[in-house]
């Protein structure tokens, strides 16, 4: 027990970062994903090609590498020393992590949203159009609510993956939960910190699953 | 008075000429049935009239507003504001309903009244209740489309099209997606509308329905109107060979 308590307190400090990365990534990546989907479906060939390349890079290279690039590129390429930059209580390590995660997840979300939007029958747009709804009204009142229902299961998958992916932030020496566990494990010469960290991740995802299942159920009032 | 006027309408999809100079006038209170073989351009004609397709050449007027005007360079469309006004002047009933599945029946009918026509919620609800009663669906206001039969869904979509009190309603094969035993309820509703002298253009394969309900029948084939005339006359006494041949199939 006297071993467990310091583990839990230290991991909890890491957990704050983990949750921070998780929440902020969702906050930025979801709206950004909608933009990515829109860009990917754009009639403008230049825009859609750029977005296509962006998606393929984000999905085709390791997130860990992308994090390193976001962190180091300003300095090595642009001679911009952001490493001492602090905004509020957030340093550039953390900011770079959020940028990297958001850019990466926006690509995945974008493809999920695109699939959802493209699966909508043309008739929904046409019915809205003849009733006089504007494009914006059609999107927000008719299309998006149905798309959300359609993409929810895939989004849940991504969200669960994101919880586990937060551990990749260790590459920028950010003391999120996984890094904290690693440090503790080597200090205590024990696997216990890893086990506790595993339980933490598992609980987080359990909560997410419960919440998402509830939302899915709530949307089951129509087919 | 002409509610719908389509003059010399031309429409092609790429190389395919689908409408080759259609002229169609529909007067207030008139019920026009459009019949003809598959691929003849009936749906395309309705879609052009209802702003879902743009015509290449010709003129369209609906309820006194000009949707498209002819010019040397082809059809020129009205501005957005007029377009929006015109969309309030007609209703369209689709073959496969196209109800909004995430909205209740009530919201399917009232959503555009509130957010497009800017009516108050109470007024919209009153309109909705009256229409649902007319459709025999008063008890379904809070149901969702997925819990209704096809026939009920189609009646909701008719109510939705009627909600803006349009000058004219277009139907594109309103019973084709329905099981035979469900068509009667929908046809009855359309028949009642005809008795109230609602102006309607109905694309249909139900010949006996067209004969009984329509004032005039238009026979379309190959992108042109081959023949048109008073309903009974056209069905009983078609003049053109193509019409005869087509009707012989029924
Ligand atoms: N969006 C489109 N793009 C290309 N071709 C089209 C399009 N819509 C219709 N067509 C073609 O135009 C022709 C007329 O089609 P339309 O749907 O108007 O016929 P229809 O008379 O309604 O037939 P049906 O009785 O089968 O409904 C067909 O050859 C069809 O393939
Ligand atoms: Mg058709």
Ligand 1 mean position to B154 CA, how many Å? 22
**Closest Cα of chain B to A47: distance in Å?**
25
Residue B40 Cα: closest atom of ligand 1:
21
Residue B44 CB less than 6 A away from ligand 1: yes
C-alpha to C-alpha distance for B164 and B116, rounded to whole angstroms: 10
**Closest Cα of chain B to A161: distance in Å?**
29
The 10s digit of each residue's pLDDT in A71-120 is: 988 877 777 776 677 777 778 889 999 999 999 999 999 999 999 999 99
- Cross-chain Cβ contact B84/A124 below 8 Å: no
Q: Which residues in chain A have their CB less than 8 angstroms from residue B52's CB?
A: 126, 129-130
The 10s digit of each residue's pLDDT in A1-39 is: 677 888 888 898 889 999 999 999 999 999 999 999 999
Contacts (Cβ under 8 Å, ≥6 apart) of B177: B95, B96, B97, B150, B154
pLDDT at A69 over 90: yes
CA neighbours within 13 Å on the CB side: how many for B249? 11
Ligand 2 mean position to B48 CA, how many Å? 12
Evaluate whether residue B11 is within a structural domain.
no
CATH number for domain A4-120+152-221, candidates 1.10.3720.10, 3.10.180.10, 3.40.190.10, 3.40.50.620: 1.10.3720.10
- Cross-chain Cβ contact A131/B116 below 8 Å: yes
Q: What is the pLDDT along chain B (250 residues), one digit of tens a residue?
A: 799 999 999 999 999 999 999 999 999 999 999 999 999 999 999 999 999 999 999 999 999 999 999 999 999 999 999 999 999 999 999 999 999 999 999 999 999 999 999 999 999 999 999 999 999 999 999 999 999 999 999 999 999 999 999 999 999 999 999 998 999 999 999 999 999 999 999 999 999 999 999 999 999 999 999 999 999 999 999 999 999 999 998 8
C-alpha to C-alpha distance for B68 and B87, rounded to whole angstroms: 13
Place of tokens 């209170």: B29
- Cross-chain Cβ contact B50/A130 below 8 Å: yes
B1: contact with A, CB 8 A cutoff: no
- pLDDT at position B9 is 98
Ligand 2 mean position to B214 CA, how many Å? 18
Residue owning the nearest CA to atom 3 of ligand 1? B13
C-alpha to C-alpha distance for B199 and B207, rounded to whole angstroms: 19
The 10s digit of each residue's pLDDT in A134-158 is: 999 999 999 999 999 999 999 999 9
Q: Which residues of A touch B (CB under 8 A)?
A: 121, 123-124, 126-133, 137, 141-142, 145-146, 149, 221-223
Q: Which of these, A109, A90, A100, lies nearest to A148 by C-alpha position?
A: A109
Neighbours of A135 (CB within 10 A): 11
Evaluate whether residue B158 is within a structural domain.
yes
Outline where DSSP puts E strands in A76-201. 86-87, 90-91
Q: Which residues in chain B have their CB less than 8 angstroms from residue A141's CB?
A: 111, 115
Residue B15 CB less than 6 A away from ligand 1: no
End-to-end CA gap in chain A:
51
| ipTM here | 0.94
Residue B76, strand partner residues: B69
- Range of B156's domain? 99-165
- Cross-chain Cβ contact B115/A137 below 8 Å: yes
The 10s digit of each residue's pLDDT in A182-220 is: 999 998 889 999 999 999 999 999 999 999 999 999 999
Residue owning the nearest CA to atom 2 of ligand 1? B13
- Cross-chain Cβ contact A223/B115 below 8 Å: no
Number of folded domains that form chain B: 1
Residue B39 CB less than 6 A away from ligand 1: yes
Q: Which of these, B159, B171, B150, lies nearest to B105 by C-alpha position?
A: B159
C-alpha to C-alpha distance for B204 and B154, rounded to whole angstroms: 15
C-alpha to C-alpha distance for B149 and B153, rounded to whole angstroms: 6
Contacts (Cβ under 8 Å, ≥6 apart) of B173: B43, B95, B203, B204, B205
- pLDDT at position A1 is 63
Q: Are B202 and B171 in contact (CB under 8 A)?
A: yes
Q: Are A63 and A165 in contact (CB under 8 A)?
A: yes
Pick from B98, B117, B145: which is nearest to A123 by CB? B98
C-alpha to C-alpha distance for A81 and A95, rounded to whole angstroms: 14
Q: Which residues in chain A have their CB less than 8 angstroms from residue B99's CB?
A: 127
Q: Is A206 helix (H, G, I), strand (E, B) or coil?
A: helix
């Amino acid at each position: 027990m006297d071993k467990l308590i310091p583990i839990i307190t230290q991991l909890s400090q890491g957990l704050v970062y983990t949750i921070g990365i998780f929440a902020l990534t969702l906050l930025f990546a979801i709206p950004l994903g909608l933009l990515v989907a829109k860009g990917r479906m754009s009639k403008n060939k230049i825009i859609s090609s750029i977005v296509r390349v962006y998606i393929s890079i984000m999905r085709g290279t390791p997130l860990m590498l992308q994090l390193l690039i976001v962190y180091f590129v300003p300095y090595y390429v642009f001679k911009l020393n952001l490493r001492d930059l602090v905004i509020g209580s957030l340093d550039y390590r953390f900011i770079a992590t959020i940028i990297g995660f958001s850019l990466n997840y926006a690509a995945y979300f974008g493809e999920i949203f695109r699939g959802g939007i493209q699966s909508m029958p043309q008739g929904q747009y046409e019915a809205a159009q003849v009733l006089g709804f504007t494009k914006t009204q059609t999107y927000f009142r008719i299309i998006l609510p149905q798309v959300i229902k359609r993409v929810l299961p895939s989004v849940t998958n991504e969200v669960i993956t994101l919880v586990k992916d937060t551990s990749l932030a260790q590459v920028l020496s950010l003391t999120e939960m996984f890094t904290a566990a690693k440090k503790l494990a080597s200090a205590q010469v024990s696997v216990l910190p890893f086990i506790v960290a595993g339980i933490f991740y598992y609980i987080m995802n359990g909560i997410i699953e419960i919440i998402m299942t509830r939302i899915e159920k709530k949307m089951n009032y129509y087919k | 008075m002409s509610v719908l006027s389509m003059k010399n309408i031309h429409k092609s999809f790429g190389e395919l000429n689908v409408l080759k100079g259609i002229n169609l006038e529909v007067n207030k209170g008139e019920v026009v049935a459009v019949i003809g073989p598959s691929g003849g351009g009936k749906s395309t004609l309705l879609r052009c009239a209802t702003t879902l397709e743009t015509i290449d050449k010709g003129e369209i007027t609906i309820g006194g507003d000009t949707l498209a005007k002819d010019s040397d360079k082809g059809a020129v469309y009205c501005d957005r504001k007029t377009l929006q006004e015109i969309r309030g002047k007609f209703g369209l009933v689709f073959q496969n309903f196209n109800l909004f599945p995430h909205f209740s029946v009530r919201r399917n009918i009232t959503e555009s009244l509130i957010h497009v026509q800017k009516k108050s919620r109470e007024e919209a609800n009153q309109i909705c209740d009256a229409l649902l009663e007319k459709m025999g669906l008063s008890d379904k206001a809070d149901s969702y489309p997925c819990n209704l039969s096809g026939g009920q869904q189609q009646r909701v979509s008719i109510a939705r099209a009627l909600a803006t009190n349009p000058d004219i309603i277009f139907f594109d094969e309103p019973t084709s997606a329905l099981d035979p035993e469900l068509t009667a309820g929908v046809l009855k509703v359309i028949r009642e509308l005809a008795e109230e002298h609602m102006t309607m253009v109905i694309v249909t394969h139900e010949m006996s329905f067209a004969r009984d309900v329509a004032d005039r029948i238009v026979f379309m084939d190959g992108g042109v109107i081959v023949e048109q005339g008073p309903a009974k006359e056209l069905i009983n006494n078609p003049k053109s060979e193509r019409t005869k041949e087509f009707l012989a199939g029924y």
